[in-house]
Amino acid sequence: FKRYGINRWGSAFIRASNEGHLVFAAPNSPAVDLYALSQELARRGIRTPYVVRFPTMIENQMGTLKDGFAKAIADNSYQGKHIGVYPLKVNQRRSVVDTVVKAREKFNYGLEAGSKPELLLAMAQPPLKGSLLVCNGYKDREFMRMAFHAAELGHHVIIVLESTREVRRYLDVYQEQDWTAKPEVGMRAKLYSRGSGRWQSSGGESSKFGLTTNELLAVVRELTNAGMVEQLSLLHFHIGSQITQIKRIKTAVREGARIYAELQQLAPQLRYLDLGGGIGVDYDGSRTSYPSSANYSLEEYASQVVFEVIEACREVGARQPTLLTESGRVVVANHAVTIADLREVQGELMPVPEPSEEEHRLVHELRSTLESLNIKNVEEYFHDAIDYRDECLQLFSRGYLSLQDRASAEGLFGRIRNKVKQIVESMPHPPEEIVDFLGKAHQKYLVNFSIFQSIPDAWSIDQVFPAAPLSRHGEKPTINAQIVDITCDSDGCVETFAHPDENMPYLPLHERRTADEKYYLGFFMTGAYQDSLANVHNLFARCHEVILRNPDDDMVLPGSERVELGENLTFEIKMGLTCEDVLSAMDFDVERMIRWLRDRHLAVETTLGESWLLGVLQSYPYLSR
């Protein structure tokens, strides 16, 4: 458990069963043995990779955020309230959005949209009293008009102006017709404070977003001149996602709250301070300011924010605002687990050829080293073995060693390494040099998924997604495995893990007992951003979804099926894209393709069967057997 850091990043929702399986225990849901689930899915012909979702994790995070603010507000006798809005960009999957929408009332939540399709999605939800619809992002006239229609439909809409041109657009659309209801406006401020971590360039002087102080004042002037300054109700800032240090948050909130307090003198209706997103998720469990971690909790975030806003308002006697948060990552990251199975081990030892008369002397030396290696001579013999092996490789390159001998040398050296490992493990003070060498020695575990589809941030920004096998916890792993995916891309390799030794690009794994033992790996916390950033490299496309549903949860996705998998466990299963689906998505006319193949098959008389071909088109692009 500790080897994978689960005690640090997953203790709140993962435990090990007596059989050594990982069990996912989402709040208010029955616990799910992930290994047993994977086996059951396999029995039903559903192959990896798939994403398993636990919607109650999302509700739980919404609740924790709300409670954090409720406590901070009570502790500090804060005059304002807290409202959360869910930024759709973080995960627009229907199962996620429906969960947030359903829990909106309980947790006083709204939605945030940053593009036209996101706004369509948000405005098509039933309006809820007291909740907000915040429109961020760059907006053309059409986007503005949509926001006005959303207000007409009964939503409390606030359009956040990202540039001075947008205020003109807002005023033009405002005057275009007699709207039955109109959105309020907010302004996004460009802060000098920067976040910390990977997205720190979203904040600071040179950030792409927000209005400078002069621009903020120009917008207020323009609204005042148009007699519409009372429409200005919100000030927003966002200094980046995954902010790793609480110190940076405090500085930014102080700066933002100061601007808010001053602006309130000019815009009396200003009453919301929108703090954006950015709450960090502790993916690696280190509780530090490492890029995949955060050195604070949700409670600490809420309490620091409230404190800073109180101070800033006190200085100029401003009214304390209603605090808005647009947190997404921390709300949805840990509700999803991506599961894939081990397909092949590369670098497994093959049988060594029998000794022969013609065998090279160095190969013979390696055989004797293997035989006589023991605890007393391990250091010396191991050095010798490295020399023999290196010399063999050099001789082969120069043409003085046969391919057969090279194969024997490789195989013998692998066995020597294994024997050294066994010996060293029994030593109280093993030689450091050998331990280092063995630590680097690894095998490649080929895992049936695409990193580009399932965990794109692991490829693009080395983000940690904690990984662990779903079985054999309690049994010591014997291999440092390099995790490679099935794409034809050397970047398709996971190199960042949450285990305590963050510099080790390998995952300690078990040797399979038999070649058909099912060995599954879980990549945890894949619920934020990965679904929409996913790409179809090599045409490995959208994976199956397996969603745990509680009995009172009657949501149904189009094309999905409800199944009982184990006692009291109801899942909704939505199958991933087929070969046909991905080809069509790339504009191929699959019907025509089939016709061409059929005609060609008839013309040149091949063994291609039509039903076989149709079966392949309907199949999942990932590896089957």
Summarize as ranges the residues that interact with ligand PLP (CB under 6 A).
Answer: 87, 90, 136, 238, 241-242, 276-279, 326-329
Is 579 one of the annotated active-site residues of the chain? no
DSSP state of 290: S
DSSP sequence for 199-239 = TGGGSSTT-SSSB-HHHHHHHHHHHHHTT-GGGEEEEE---
Token representation of residue 427: 């030593």
Minimum gap (Å) between residue 111 Cβ and ligand PLP: 11
Minimum gap (Å) between residue 137 Cβ and ligand PLP: 8
Among residues 309 and 370, whose Cβ is nearest to ligand PLP? 309
Task: Give the Cα separation of 194 and 121 in Å (integer).
Answer: 31
Among residues 279 and 569, whose Cβ is nearest to ligand PLP? 279
Which residue has the CB atom at the shortest distance from ligand PLP? 277
Q: Provide the pairing of β-strand 322-325 with 507-509.
A: unpaired
Residue tagged 């053309």 (tokens): 140
Among residues 324 and 565, whose Cβ is nearest to ligand PLP? 324
Q: Are 334 and 524 in contact (CB under 8 A)?
A: yes
Minimum gap (Å) between residue 333 Cβ and ligand PLP: 8
As a whole number of angstroms, the longest Cα–Cα distance in the chain is 101
Minimum gap (Å) between residue 136 Cβ and ligand PLP: 5
Q: From residue 525, how far is each of 260, 333, 463, 569, 570 by CA, in Å?
A: 35, 5, 11, 21, 22
Phi, psi of 430 (to 5 degrees): -65, 145
Helix, coil or strand: residue 113: strand
DSSP state of 189: B
CA-nearest of 531, 537, 545 to 455 is 531
Minimum gap (Å) between residue 535 Cβ and ligand PLP: 19
Minimum gap (Å) between residue 324 Cβ and ligand PLP: 10
**Letter for the amino acid at 238?**
H
Among residues 38 and 108, whose Cβ is nearest to ligand PLP? 108
Any residues with CB less than 8 A from the CB of 394 and at least 6 apart, and which?
Answer: none
Question: Which of the following is catalytic: 488, 493, 543, 579?
Answer: 488
Among residues 167 and 279, whose Cβ is nearest to ligand PLP? 279
Among residues 65 and 498, whose Cβ is nearest to ligand PLP? 65
Among residues 461 and 614, whose Cβ is nearest to ligand PLP? 461
DSSP state of 279: B
Q: From residue 186, how far is each of 145, 234, 275, 400, 420 by CA, in Å?
A: 16, 4, 12, 77, 67
Output b/e per residue, 592-615; b: 16+ Cβ within 10 A: eeeeeeeeeeeeeeeeeeeeeeee
Q: From residue 37, how far is each of 4, 67, 523, 552 by CA, in Å?
A: 21, 33, 15, 21
Minimum gap (Å) between residue 162 Cβ and ligand PLP: 9
Minimum gap (Å) between residue 90 Cβ and ligand PLP: 5
Among residues 110 and 328, whose Cβ is nearest to ligand PLP? 328
Task: Give the Cα separation of 620 and 276 in Å (integer).
Answer: 39
* Active site residues per annotation: 488
